[in-house]
Every structure is written in structure tokens, then in C-alpha cells.
């Protein structure tokens, strides 16, 4: 390894040093070793191969010195030349064998390193991914997606370096350093001492400049992250629409260009600093070699040192500086990996608020009821479900924990419809989210089929419930894949039957790729009504016994709403249903209507009963009717001619 390469390693270590170097925690180290335990055999072999590689690396300069000695000692006569020639040939063959062995050992070590590193990445990524999937919805409403993805990518890879790079470098460099010092001292303690005196001239500039480059690198990374977030938000369909609607492309371009220009300036400055640094180190390298050849040559001329030893010392010089420089930066590498591990462990240490019981039960067979019994609920505070680093804020929002549902009680009989109506923010969607355990009640009980939902298995609960929300979310995948997400084993005929019942079969059949048509990010290649009908088709394919509709017809025009209403009539037929509707006329056919205000049920009854009572429901209904939203709308569950 050349001195320039060694300098680059020192520089790189400093540039990638963590912002804060945490203290080594035994608990953290134990957890790190826990991830290493499945790979312990490969790790042991890897360390052994790294040690062997270090031994072979030191042997080559020593043998090269002996070749020089054999050549210089074989000039006396023909017999001496013949003997020297044989020695040179044997040493050359041995050097070649060592080179081949070193290459083979290096390949084996690299293969093991890759397997260990990639294995750790697999273990960490799957652990984080599986854990994140268990987190409550509150976690996702607060967390910035890019920050979470970074944990699965950048931080996991940073942690992986501890096994694939840092560990082997420390072992190999330690062995190389000790062997090199021993050999150099035996050859010439004077030259070894002078070489060590020159080390600070070589090392200190690297550390100092490395810190300057680290600041520039972090600033560039911050600007790049900001540009990435800007592109992610503005290049999505809703973001691009907003920019165009408010006529702000010029402003967006200006903000982006300011950051891009700063990154350019940092790149230029970084390149110049590196060039100056490497030019300086080239000079240091030349001075070090001049010292070895000058002092060594004088000692050789005086008979105190062999010519071969001078050559060996010159070759060993880089073997001395390289591990010393690398070990000087080993702590930075270790701390960098430790920071990555701690950032991964931060996510793993977030406890899911909703857990499945070990003795979880199945939902009873047949039609089932949905019941709320004196349910109280407050959304969890940020500290229970999130991290400041994942929200990209300095301090978590301290708000939260305020009760939003107060003693909610009602029962949806098997095969019957209960409608929730009321003002925006009254708590209707919150009630709906407690049924599939997107959140858990703080007090009281939510039951399905007479069983507390907290006693049911997740699989049984998900197979029993089907929910359609107002945004109608779809994955950037084909229509087929989005449908099969509800029931992977469904056949082709079942897919088309679900589309027919959702009044979407004609549209899909007219598409060039049919079921294999990609719907785009969040389904934005489809209209709002088509997107909603596709989510209803997905629900029909799942065949749930309980259906929850949360503003499923919101934000749709009259034509789209009529088509969605027909699809909903199919979805609700014979099923227990909880329907949230803003348009009161769409729930006239409900078996029971609950009026929710401020987290409480203030009225209940049928449409006619509530109108006759002339209370809050009557007030809401008259307000909507006066605005033209009334009798022309068809109720949910009633087919539109």
C-alpha cells in the first residue's frame, strides 16, 4: 500500500466521522455481537485469513532484500555467481508463490467479508422492516418517510462496515505493524527511529485536513438531502399539481439552484484541498524514501548494513506508515459504525403499541356484530410512537394524550348497517380506526362477534374486516397485483367477477394491457371514481364479513359517485357495516344512524326518527338540503338506476 493510498484512508476516515462520538456502551456492544453471532464461524475464519495476509505482506520486502544481497555477493567469481543465481531464482520463485498465496488469501477473505457484511445487512434490514410493519398508524403519520428509508439503507450499510471492513482492518493492520516494527528494528534501529520521527509530519496534516473536509462533506450531504426531499415532494403527482396551480415553478427552481450551486462550490473546494494535500504527501513520501536510502546507504558503505537491508527497509516503510495511519483512524471507524448501529437500534427499541396476544383467538364463524362498549380514546403522544430524528425535528411535539372519544357505545347487528355522521373532527374516523385495531381503546371494549378485538389474532381480524377509505390508495403496480393484495390465491375469473361487481370490468377490458395495466403511483393514472371502484373491487375479492366505509364517496363528482354507490351496494349486501358519510342523504337506508359530536354520540335512531326529533341531525340535514346536497343523492347500499 502506497503512502498516498494510506493518506486517502486517513482522510476518508476523518470525512466520514460521526457528528458526535458516543461512548462505547456494553449493552450496545452486546447487541452488535448478537447480530454477529450467526456469522461467528465465518468471522473466525475471516480473522485468520486477515492475519495470514498480513504475514505474507511483510515477508515480500524481506525476501526482496535477500535477492539484492545475493546479487551483490555473487560477483566475486564464476562459482559465486552460479550459487547467487540459484539463490536469486529460488527467492524469486518464493516471492511469486507468496504473491499467488497472498492473492488467493485476499480473494477468500474478500468473499468471506462480503458474505458476512451482506448477511448482516440482510439481518438488520429484515429486522427493521418487520419491526416497522408492527408499528401503529400514529408512527407513520409522524415519521418522515425519507428518514425512515435512510435507516434501512445508509445506517444499515454503515453498521455493516463494522464487520466487513473495520474489524479486518484492525486485525490485519495490528499484525502488520508489529511484524514490520520487529523486522525493521532487527535490520536497523536507527532508520526505524527516524522513520517514526517523521510519522507526525505525515499523519497530523491528514487529520487536520480531514476535519475540514468532513465539515464540507456534511454540508454537502445536508444540501443534497434537502434537494432530495424537495424533488420527492414536488415530483409526486399532488406536489407537481400544487406547484403548477400556484404558478411557483420559478421559485422552486431558484431554491433548488441555490442549493445545487452550493454543492458545486463545495465540490470544487474539496477537490482543491485534496489535491494540495496529496501533493504535500507525495513530497513527504519522497523525503521518507530519501531518508532511508541516504542514511541506509551511508550505513551500507560503512559496512554496518547490507545493501539488501536498505532495499528491504525502503519497502517496509510503507508497511509501517500504512497500518499506523489506519489504526490512528480506527476509533473513528468504530464510532462511525457504532453510531449507525445505535440509529438502527433506536428504531428497533420503539415498542409497538398494538401487540398480538400469545393466546389470540379466532373470530367466531358466521355473521358477526360490531360493538362499542363505553369506549374512551386519546391519540398517543409523540414520545410513545416516534423519534425526533425520524421526524427531522430537534424536539418531539409534546402535545398529545387529549381524550377524543368519550364513552362511545353502540352495536351494529350482524348483517346490518350503522352510519356515523357529524361535523368534521367529531371523531367518526377515529371510531372506525378502532375496529381493525389501527389504534386500541384506552378504556372500554371494542368487540367483533362478541369478542374483544384485543383478544383476536391479527390474521383472523384482517380476514374478517374490509375497509375503504376516502383516498383509495393503490400501489404503483398492475391492476392485477393491487387486487391480489387482498387475496393472493384468487383466480382470473374471481378477479373479473370482483371488477364486474364494482362496475369496473368494462374499463379494464378496454385497456390495452387489461389486468396488467400499471395504475401509477397511488393510482393517479385512474380517475378518482375509478380508483375508488378498484379499492371496492379489492374489498369484494377479500370477501370480508364486516365492511367499514370511511367517506368512501367524498370528493367525487355526481357521475363518479353514482358508479361508486352501485359498487358499494354490492360490497355491503348481507354484511355488517359501519359507514361514515358526510352527505347525510347517502345513509338514509341505514338501520341506525349515530350523530357524533366532540367524541360523543349525541343522537341515535333511523333517518325518519332523527328528522322527527329535530335535533342536531335535523340541523345538519337541513343545512345540506338547503345547499342542494339532499334528496337527489342515493343512499349507500341502494343501487342507482
Same domain, 302 and 223: yes
Rounded to whole angstroms, how far apart are CA atoms 333 and 14? 9
Same domain, 249 and 290: yes
Query: Residue 363: inside a domain, yes or no?
Result: no
Choose one of 316, 348, 380: the last residue of a domain. Answer: 348
Please state which of the ranges 221-235, 244-258, 496-510 shows the lowest mean pLDDT.
221-235
Backbone angles phi, psi at 410, to 5 degrees: -170, 170
Closest by alpha carbon to 596, among 270, 266, 375? 375
Rounded to whole angstroms, how far apart are CA atoms 455 and 441? 13
Cα–Cα–Cα angle for 137, 141, 144, rounded to 5 degrees: 125
C-alpha distances out from residue 221 to 215, 332, 505, Å: 10, 19, 49
Reported as a single tens digit per residue, the pLDDT across 109-140 is 888 888 887 888 888 888 888 888 888 888 88
Scan for cell 355522521, then name that residue: 421
Helix, coil or strand: residue 373: strand
Task: Judge whether 432 and 551 are in contact, CB under 8 Å.
Answer: no
Query: Residue 638: inside a domain, yes or no?
Result: no
Could you tell me the pTM of the whole model? 0.70
Query: Residue 639: inside a domain, yes or no?
Result: no
**Confidence grade of residue 36 (pLDDT, cut at 50, 70, 90):** confident
Same domain, 292 and 409: no
Segments forming the whole domain that contains residue 489:
370-626
Same domain, 33 and 155: yes
Query: Residue 631: inside a domain, yes or no?
Result: no
Encode 614-628: b = buried (16+ Cβ within 10 Å), e = exposed: eebbbebbeebeeee
Query: Residue 337: inside a domain, yes or no?
Result: yes
Same domain, 400 and 335: no
Query: Residue 637: inside a domain, yes or no?
Result: no
Q: What is the CATH number of the domain that holds 190?
A: 1.20.1560.10
Q: What is the CATH number of the domain that holds 456?
A: 3.40.50.300
Please state which of the ranges 10-14, 134-138, 403-407 shows the lowest mean pLDDT.
10-14
Same domain, 104 and 35: yes
Same domain, 164 and 204: yes
Query: Residue 311: inside a domain, yes or no?
Result: yes
> In the Cβ-directed half-sphere of 568, how many Cα atoms lie within 13 Å?
34
Same domain, 295 and 237: yes
Choose one of 318, 348, 378: the last residue of a domain. Answer: 348
How large is the average pLDDT for residues 271-295?
A: 76
Same domain, 316 and 375: no
C-alpha distances out from residue 252 to 161, 259, 386, 495, Å: 37, 11, 30, 43
Task: Judge whether 259 and 226 are in contact, CB under 8 Å.
Answer: yes
Q: For the chain, how many structural domains are there in total?
A: 2
**Confidence grade of residue 632 (pLDDT, cut at 50, 70, 90):** very low
Query: Residue 355: inside a domain, yes or no?
Result: no
Q: Locate 4 and state its grid cell.
A: 498516498
Burial class (CB in 10 A: 0-12, 13-18, 19+), 214: buried
Rounded to whole angstroms, how far apart are CA atoms 112 and 413? 62
Same domain, 193 and 233: yes
Same domain, 313 and 374: no
Same domain, 569 and 608: yes
Amino acid at each position: 500500500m502506497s503512502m498516498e493510498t494510506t493518506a486517502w484512508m486517513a482522510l476518508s476516515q476523518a470525512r466520514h466521522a460521526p457528528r458526535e462520538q458516543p461512548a462505547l456502551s456494553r449493552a450496545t456492544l452486546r447487541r452488535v455481537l448478537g447480530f454477529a453471532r450467526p456469522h461467528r464461524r465465518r468471522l473466525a475464519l475471516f480473522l485468520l485469513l486477515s492475519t495470514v495476509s498480513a504475514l505474507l505482506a511483510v515477508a515480500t520486502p524481506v525476501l526482496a532484500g535477500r535477492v539484492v544481497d545475493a546479487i551483490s555477493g555473487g560477483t566475486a567469481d564464476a562459482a559465486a555467481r552460479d550459487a547467487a543465481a540459484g539463490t536469486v531464482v529460488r527467492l524469486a520463485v518464493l516471492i511469486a508463490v507468496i504473491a499467488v498465496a497472498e492473492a488467493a488469501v485476499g480473494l477468500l477473505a474478500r468473499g468471506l467479508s462480503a458474505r458476512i457484511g451482506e448477511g448482516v445487512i440482510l439481518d438488520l434490514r429484515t429486522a427493521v422492516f418487520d419491526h416497522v410493519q408492527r408499528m401503529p398508524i400514529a408512527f407513520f403519520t409522524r415519521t418522515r418517510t425519507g428518514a425512515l428509508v435512510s435507516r434501512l439503507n445508509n445506517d444499515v450499510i454503515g453498521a455493516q462496515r463494522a464487520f466487513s471492513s473495520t474489524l479486518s482492518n484492525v486485525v490485519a493492520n495490528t499484525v502488520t505493524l508489529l511484524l514490520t516494527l520487529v523486522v525493521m528494528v532487527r535490520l536497523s534501529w536507527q532508520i526505524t527511529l527516524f522513520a517514526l520521527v517523521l510519522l507526525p509530519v505525515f499523519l497530523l496534516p491528514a487529520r487536520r485536513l480531514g476535519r475540514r473536509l468532513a465539515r464540507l462533506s456534511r454540508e454537502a450531504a445536508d444540501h443534497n438531502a434537502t434537494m432530495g426531499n424537495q424533488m420527492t415532494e414536488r415530483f409526486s403527482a399532488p406536489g407537481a399539481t400544487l406547484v403548477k396551480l400556484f404558478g411557483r415553478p420559478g421559485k422552486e427552481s431558484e431554491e433548488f439552484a441555490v442549493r445545487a450551486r452550493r454543492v458545486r462550490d463545495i465540490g470544487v473546494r474539496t477537490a482543491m484541498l485534496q489535491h494540495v494535500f496529496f501533493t504535500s504527501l507525495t513530497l513527504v513520501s519522497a523525503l521518507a524514501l530519501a531518508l532511508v536510502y541516504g542514511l541506509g546507504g551511508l550505513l551500507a558503505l560503512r559496512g554496518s548494513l547490507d545493501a539488501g537491508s536498505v532495499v528491504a527497509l525502503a519497502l517496509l516503510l510503507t508497511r509501517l506508515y500504512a497500518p499506523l495511519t489506519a489504526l490512528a483512524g480506527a476509533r473513528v471507524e468504530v464510532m462511525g459504525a457504532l453510531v449507525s448501529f445505535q440509529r438502527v437500534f433506536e428504531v428497533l427499541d420503539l415498542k409497538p403499541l398494538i401487540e398480538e396476544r400469545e393466546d389470540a383467538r379466532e373470530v367466531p364463524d358466521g355473521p358477526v356484530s360490531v360493538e362499542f362498549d363505553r369506549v374512551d380514546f386519546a391519540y398517543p403522544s409523540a414520545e410513545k410512537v416516534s423519534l425526533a430524528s425520524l421526524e427531522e425535528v430537534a424536539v418531539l411535539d409534546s402535545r398529545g394524550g387529549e381524550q377524543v372519544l368519550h364513552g362511545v357505545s353502540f352495536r351494529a347487528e350482524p348483517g346490518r348497517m350503522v352510519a356515523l355522521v357529524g361535523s368534521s373532527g367529531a371523531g367518526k374516523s377515529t371510531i372506525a380506526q378502532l375496529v381493525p385495531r389501527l389504534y386500541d381503546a384506552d378504556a372500554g371494549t371494542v368487540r367483533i362477534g362478541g369478542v374483544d378485538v384485543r383478544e383476536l389474532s391479527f390474521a383472523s381480524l384482517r380476514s374478517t374486516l374490509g375497509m375503504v377509505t376516502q383516498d383509495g390508495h393503490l400501489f404503483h403496480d398492475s391492476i392485477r397485483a393491487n387486487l391480489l393484495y387482498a387475496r393472493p390465491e384468487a383466480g382470473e375469473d374471481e378477479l373479473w367477477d370482483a371488477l364486474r361487481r364494482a362496475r369496473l370490468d368494462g374499463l379494464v377490458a378496454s385497456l390495452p394491457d387489461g389486468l396488467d395495466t400499471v395504475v401509477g403511483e397511488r393510482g393517479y393514472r385512474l380517475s378518482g371514481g375509478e380508483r375508488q371502484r378498484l379499492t371496492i373491487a379489492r374489498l369484494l375479492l377479500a370477501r370480508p364479513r364486516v365492511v367499514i366505509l370511511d367517506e368512501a364517496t367524498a370528493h367525487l363528482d355526481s357521475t363518479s359517485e353514482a358508479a361508486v354507490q352501485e359498487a358499494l351496494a354490492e360490497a355491503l349486501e348481507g354484511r355488517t357495516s359501519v359507514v361514515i358519510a358526510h352527505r347525510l342523504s347517502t345513509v338514509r337506508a341505514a338501520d341506525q344512524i349515530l350523530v357524533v359530536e366532540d367524541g360523543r354520540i349525541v343522537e341515535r335512531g333511523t333517518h325518519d326518527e332523527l328528522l322527527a326529533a329535530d335535533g342536531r341531525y335535523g340541523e345538519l340535514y337541513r343545512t345540506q338540503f338547503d345547499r342542494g346536497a339532499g334528496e337527489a343523492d342515493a343512499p349507500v347500499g341502494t343501487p342507482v338506476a
